[in-house]
């Protein structure tokens, strides 16, 4: 999926949280969920809930694109 801005996904690991850089990324399920849940300005989401909704939509569309070949889309 294409991530437009850097986001602190908030997924905790042994050495801190996960930073998602801008650009095309292949995210694990745990990181994608963290990305979809981000909503705070400190995490890099300046648009609040509106931008959070857009991030969730990006994740859903990326799952759709990965699940269905292009030839099966309407």
| 32 pLDDT more than 60 | yes
Q: What is the pLDDT of residue 74?
A: 54
Listing DSSP states for the chain in one string gives -EE-S-EE----BTTBPPEEPSEE----HHHHHHHHH---GGGT-TTHHHHHHHHHHHHHHHHHHHHS-GGG--
The pLDDT confidence band at residue 34, using thresholds 50, 70 and 90, is confident
User: Which residue would you say has higher pLDDT here, 9 or 13?
Assistant: 9
Average pLDDT in the 11-37 region?
Answer: 84
- Residue 17: predicted pLDDT: 78
Q: Where are the domains of the chain?
A: 2-69
- pTM, full prediction: 0.78
Looking only at the bridges linking them, the beta strands covering 2-3 and 19-20 are: unpaired
Answer yes or no: is pLDDT of 14 > 70: no
Nearest alpha-carbon partner for 59 in 31, 36, 25, 26: 36
């Amino acid at each position: 999926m294409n991530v437009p801005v850097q986001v602190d996904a908030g997924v905790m690991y042994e050495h801190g949280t996960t930073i998602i850089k801008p650009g095309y990324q292949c995210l694990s399920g745990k990181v994608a969920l963290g990305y979809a849940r981000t909503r705070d300005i400190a995490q890099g989401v300046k648009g609040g809930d509106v931008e959070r909704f857009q991030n969730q939509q990006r994740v859903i569309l990326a799952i759709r694109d990965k699940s269905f070949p292009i030839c099966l889309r309407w």
